[in-house]
Structure 1
Amino acid sequence: MIQKRQNRPRATEKMWLEAAHALLLEAGVEGVKIMPLAQRLGLTRTGFYHHFRDREALLDAIIARWEDKNTGNLVARCNAYAETICEAALNLQDCWINPDLFDASLDFAIRNWARTDPALAERLDRADARRKAAISGMFQRFGYPEEEAELRTLAILYTQVGYIAMEVREDPEERIAKIPAYVEIFTGRTPTAGEVQRFMNRNGY
C-alpha cells in the first residue's frame, strides 16, 4: 500500500515575515537571509519568491511592520479620547505594557540596524519625529505651552528608549505599579484612583 504524503500547510507571506522578524531579533539584519529562513520554516528557498521579490523587499516589509505597529500605535494612543492629561498619559503608557501595541525588542533591533543603514536611519528619524509630535500634541491639547510640552515629551521618550536600550528586565506587576508615579512625574498632575483603575483593568491587572 502506498502511503499518501502528508500535506504540509502552504507557507504564507505572514509566515515568512514572522520568521524574518524572529531572525532579526536573534541575529540582527545580517542574519536575515533567505536560506536560513527557509530552513527555519522547513521549506525550499524557491517558495520565498512567491511572496517577496528579493531579500530587500522582505527587509522593507519588516520596516513597514515596525512603522505601522510601533509608531502607528503610539500616535493612535496619544490621540485616543481622554478627559484629562493624566488619562491621556495613561493611554500612552498602554504601549509600554501591551506588546500587541508596541514591540520593544523590534524597536531595539531597528535602532541597531539603522546604525549601519543610512536610508533606515532617515526613516527612523521621521518615525521619531512623528512620535515626538504626537506626544507634544497630546500635552498641548491640555493647555501645556509648546516649550514645556516638548520637554515633557522628551522625558517620556528618553525614559522609554532607556528602558529598551538597557534591556531592562522588570517584573510586569512591579513595572505597572510604578506607572501612576511616572505619569505624575511626566505630567505634573496626580492621576485619580478611577483613572489608574481603568488603566489597570484594560491591561489585565
Structure 2
Amino acid sequence: MTDQTDQTLSDEKTTGWRGSREVWLAAARQALIQSGVDAVKIQPLATGLALSRTSFYWFFKDRKALLEALLEDWDAKNTGAFVDACAAYAETISEAILNLIVVFQDEALFEPQLDFAIRGWAHQSDGVAARVHAADEVRIDAIRAMFARFGFAEDEADVRARTVYLTQIGYISMQVRESVGVRMARAPGYVKTFCGQAPTDSELARFHARLKFDPAL
C-alpha cells in the first residue's frame, strides 16, 4: 500500500468508528448548553453518539480533559470574536461599534448560549469562575482599546466599554429573544448610545450586508 493509503486507514481508525475529537467535543458542548456541566459525562455522550465508551479515550485522557477542552474552545471562539471585532478596520467609532454588534448577532462568530452555559457552570466552580472573569477582562480591555483608538480619554473609554459589554452580557443572562427585524431596528440607537455618534447610511448598509439582512423585506 502507498503511504497515502496507510494514512487514510489510520485516519479511519482514529476518526471513523471511534468518532473524532471534534465529534466528542461538539456532543459535550451541546450537553453543557442543554443541561449543564453535570450532564457532560462520558457514558451518556457515548450512548448519544452510538459509540463505545472506550472510543472516548482515543481523544481525551478523562472527563477532566474534556471539560478543559470545552473551556478552551469557548474562550478561543467567544472571547476571540470580541478581540478580532475590536481590532477590525473601521474609519469611525460608529463603524467600529457596528463591527462589534455583528459579533453579538452572528452565532457563527459568538455563541450566546454557550456563554450562558459557561457562566452557569462558573457558579459551581471557583476555577471556572476565575476563567470567566479573566475572559470578561480581556473582552472589556479590547473594547476599551477600541474606544481609545478613536481618541476617547482613558476614563471615558473604560465607562463606554463597560456599557457596551455589560449590556450584551445582560442580554445573554436574561436570555433575551428578539426578532432579527427588532434587533436591526435598534442597532443605530445602540450605536449612538454607546459612542455618542449615529452611524451613517453607508455604514448601516455595510452592517446589514454582513449579516445578510435586507431592511426592505
Give the TM-score, by structure 1 length.
Answer: 0.94
C-alpha separation in 2, matches of 1:84 and 1:20: 41
Is it true that 1:115 corresponds to 2:146 in the alignment? no
Which of 59, 63, 70 is the aligned partner of 1:62? 70
Amino acid at match of 1:200: H
> Aligned residue for 2:12?
none
SS at match of 1:50: coil
Amino acid at match of 2:195: T
Q: 1:58-81 CA distances to partner (integer Å, 9 max, x unpaired)?
A: 000110011000001110000001
What displacement does 1:9 show? 4.3
Percentage of pairs with the same residue: 46
Amino acid at match of 1:164: I
SS at match of 2:57: helix
Amino acid at match of 1:109: A
SS at match of 2:85: helix
> Aligned residue for 2:22?
14
Q: Over aligned residues, Cα RMSD in angstroms?
A: 1.1
Residues 73, 101 of structure 1: 8 Å contact kept: yes
Is it true that 1:45 corresponds to 2:53 in the alignment? yes
Is it true that 1:167 corresponds to 2:170 in the alignment? no
Q: 1:122-168 CA distances to partner (integer Å, 9 max, x unpaired)?
A: 11111111001100000010001111111111111111111111111
Is it true that 1:86 corresponds to 2:102 in the alignment? no
C-alpha separation in 2, matches of 1:98 and 1:191: 19
Which of 90, 103, 112 is the aligned partner of 1:104? 112
After TM superposition, where is structure 1 displaced by more than 6 Å over at least 4 residues in a row? none
Task: Give 1:172-183 correspondences, 5 Å limit.
Answer: 172-183=180-191
SS at match of 1:189: coil
Where does structure 1 lack aligned partners over 5 or more consecutive residues? 1-7
How many residues of Structure 1 are paired with residues of Structure 2 in the alignment?
198
Residues 132, 154 of structure 1: 8 Å contact kept: yes
Give the TM-score, by structure 2 length.
Answer: 0.89
Amino acid at match of 2:157: A
Is it true that 1:186 corresponds to 2:182 in the alignment? no
C-alpha separation in 2, matches of 1:155 and 1:196: 21
Where does structure 2 lack aligned partners over 5 or more consecutive residues? 1-14
Which of 130, 139, 150 is the aligned partner of 2:158? 150
